[in-house]
Chain A
Amino acid sequence: MSNILLITPERCTGCGSCELACSFKHEDEFKPTASRVSVLRFEAGVSVPLTCLQCDEPYCMAVCKTGAIDKDADSGLVSVDGNKCIGCRMCVMACPFGNINYSVTAKKAVKCNYCDGEPECALWCPQQAIEYLPQDTATLGRKKAYSAKFAQLVEEVQS
């Protein structure tokens, strides 16, 4: 993978531009609920934009029986092929982070695929809370710091 999507929650103001940009790109409408990226808003003005982490070993892909979910070997991006999806929602149940959704209108799973390498959310974020950066030691280090917290979550579930 050449670039990675990096999130810095401290910079997020909760404006929701990413959600609008995402839903407009993928669904042709400004509709945060149809967005692949979600802004989680907490008290005291704390907000976190979240989207798929493009796991190394995606659970969503492991449970997909029609081969609709695929991880690109070069880019590392995990994508859903809507034509192959049968809408069983097992991927949605399998994702430990809730980062893959089921579209009730399309009756298919939908998820973030970094807009195939040009993520709109990063482009429109006015605060650089979402950045699309080259995968170097600095960015990977920052990403790993967050990953450690997720690893803890997965361990809690499995124990």
Chain B
Amino acid sequence: MGIIAHIGRYLLLLKETFSRPERASIYWKRTVEEMDLLGLKSLGIVALLSFFMGAVITIQTRTNIDSPLIQAWIVGFATRQSTILEFSPTIIALILAGKVGSNIAAEIGSMRVKEQIDALDIMGVNSAGYLILPKIIASMFINPFLVMVSMFLSILGGYIAGTGTGIISSTDYLQGIQTGFIPYHVTYALIKTVVFAFIIATVSAYQGYYTRGGTREVGISSTQAVVYSNVVILIVNYALTQLLLI
């Protein structure tokens, strides 16, 4: 199947997904469950990763700035900017594509090979809507919260690592994270997060929904979900950066 055919089938799947739900109350219940499964259960890895990335950014920035002409607060500034602009929205999205994307593809893929999706279709349930829509809404709703937590913990990680190792003073770091702050950058990061959440949920669901075969194919779909989600995220990241920042 060529790439154009895949894009066409992906768009048709989206059309099915967004058609009118049979019972809104059941969809809402599923959306809340998905928020827990896809969002809250990712909080641990996001927190851990963000804290240590912030710490590493701070240490690396400091060790690479030797010039006496550059002021120390630049370290805090660089940590904040790289966290808000790129690390939290994009790297966390890539991590979530690995964790959440593979989970979505494997879950829907195994439902496909076990004929559970056929069972839904025969009952008259819109299987695409029932299975995919709650995941999209849940991801688009919960991921911005994850990213905000990530931003906070990354900057905190930088502070603790910087001041704890003595490479930067508390005053310089705090001055740096406040200097030249542009609130729009947070908006930009959250817009990216919502778009990436949509990509992760839909690309992964697409891979799972069209799985054919058995457990081996479910594994392949799961891997493809991660790879394709990452590729699309990186391309869209470039496009959004150009659109929103320049």
* Bind each other: no
Binding site for A on B (CB under 8 A): none
